[in-house]
C-alpha cells in the first residue's frame, strides 16, 4: 500500500493532543507519519529501561531521535532506570515472551508514560508497541488501560496501528529510512532466548549494531 492511501485519523473525542510512548524507530515510524499526516498534535515519550545492553538502548534511541527531529516532533527522553526494571523482573527471568514478564514490562513503561502525561497536561496516551506482529495486542492494550486508570483524567488510546496497511508501511518506512534493525525484543532475557533459538537452528548469535533495513532487502525481513 502506498503512503498516499493512508487514512486520516482523529483523536478520540475530548482530546486535543497525544503523548505517544515509543519503543523504537521502526515501530513508531509509521505511527508518527500517520499522526503527522492527520494533523494530530503529539510528542514522543521514550521510556524503555528494558532494553539491554546500553549499546543497544542508545542505538534504538538515537534512531528514534533522528526520525523525530526530521519531522520536528518533540522527543521526551526519559530515564534509563534499569535497576528498577531488573528489580521488577526478579523471579520472571525464565518466563516466555508474551508472558507475565512482558506484562510487567509493558505496565512499567505505560505507568511512567501515564505519570508524565498527568504531570505535563496530556490527557491521552498511546504506544507504538502494538504495531509489531510479534506482540500480543490485547496484552499491550490491557496494560495501557490499566496504567491510565491510575490517573484521573488520563485515557489510553487503543487504536490498532496494524490495520489499514500500517504493518506494511512500517516496513516500507523502515527500509526508506534505513533504520537500525533490532533482532530481539529488548531485554537481556529476550536476547538470551533469541540467541538460544538461533544457535539451535544453526544461525549465528546476534551481533549488536550491525543490521539496518534497506530497500535491497527482501520482504521476508
**Residues annotated in the binding site, as ranges?**
23-24, 102, 105
Q: Which residues are annotated as a binding site for [4Fe-4S] cluster?
A: 23-24, 102, 105
Q: In angstroms, rounded to a whole number, what is the distance separating the alpha carbons of residues 64 and 221? A: 20
Compute the least distance from the CB of residue 141 to ligand SF4, in Å: 14
Q: Are strands 155-156 and 42-46 parallel, antiparallel or unpaired?
A: unpaired
Least separation, in Å, of the C-beta of 126 and ligand SF4?
17
DSSP, collapsed to helix, strand or coil, labels residue 28 as: helix
Burial 171-195 (b: 16+ CB within 10 A, else e): bbbbbebebbbbbbbbbbbbbebbb
Question: Of 59, 64, 46, 41, whose CA–CA distance to 109 is shortest?
Answer: 46
Rounded to the nearest whole angstrom, what is the least distance from the CB of residue 69 to ligand SF4 in the complex?
A: 25
Nearer to ligand SF4, 98 or 203 (CB): 98
Q: Which is nearer to ligand SF4, 11 or 170 (CB)?
A: 170
| Of 11 and 125, CB closest to ligand SF4 | 125
Min. distance of Cβ 205 from ligand SF4 in angstroms? Answer: 17
Q: Nearer to ligand SF4 by C-beta: 23 or 114?
A: 23
State the residues that interact with ligand SF4 by CB under 6 A.
50, 97, 101-102, 105, 185-187, 189-190
The crossing angle, in degrees rounded to 10, of helices 54-70 and 25-37 is 20
**Please, what's the largest Cα pairwise distance for the chain?**
53
Nearest approach, Cβ of 112 to ligand SF4 (angstroms)? 14
The nearer residue to ligand SF4, 14 or 134, going by C-beta atoms, is 134
Can you list the positions of beta strands (E) in 15-91? 18-21, 42-46, 75-77
**Radius of gyration of the chain from its Cα atoms, rounded to whole angstroms:** 17
For 58-80, b/e burial (b = at least 16 CB within 10 A) is ebbbebbbebbeeeebebbebeb
Amino acid at each position: 500500500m502506498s503512503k498516499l492511501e493512508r487514512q486520516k485519523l482523529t483523536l478520540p473525542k475530548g482530546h486535543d493532543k497525544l503523548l505517544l510512548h515509543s519503543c523504537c524507530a521502526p515501530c513508531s515510524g509509521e505511527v508518527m507519519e500517520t499522526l503527522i499526516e492527520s494533523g494530530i498534535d503529539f510528542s514522543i515519550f521514550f521510556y524503555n529501561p528494558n532494553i539491554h545492553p546500553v549499546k543497544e538502548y542508545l542505538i534504538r534511541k538515537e534512531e528514534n531521535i533522528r526520525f523525530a527531529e526530521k519531522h520536528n516532533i518533540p522527543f521526551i527522553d526519559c530515564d534509563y532506570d534499569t535497576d528498577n526494571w531488573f528489580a521488577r523482573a526478579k523471579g520472571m527471568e525464565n518466563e516466555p515472551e508474551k508472558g507475565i514478564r512482558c506484562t510487567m514490562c509493558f505496565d512499567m513503561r505505560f505507568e511512567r508514560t501515564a505519570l508524565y502525561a498527568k504531570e505535563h497536561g496530556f490527557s491521552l496516551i498511546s504506544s507504538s508497541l502494538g504495531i509489531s506482529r510479534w506482540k500480543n495486542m490485547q496484552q499491550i492494550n490491557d496494560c495501557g488501560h490499566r496504567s491510565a486508570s491510575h490517573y484521573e483524567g488520563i485515557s489510553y488510546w487503543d487504536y490498532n496501528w496494524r490495520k489499514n496497511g500500517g504493518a506494511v508501511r512500517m516496513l516500507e518506512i523502515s527500509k526508506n529510512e534505513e533504520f537500525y534493525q533490532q533482532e530481539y525484543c529488548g531485554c537481556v532475557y529476550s536476547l538470551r532466548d533469541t540467541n538460544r533459538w538461533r544457535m539451535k537452528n544453526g544461525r549465528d548469535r546476534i551481533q549488536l549494531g550491525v543490521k539496518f533495513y534497506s530497500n535491497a532487502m527482501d520482504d521476508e525481513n
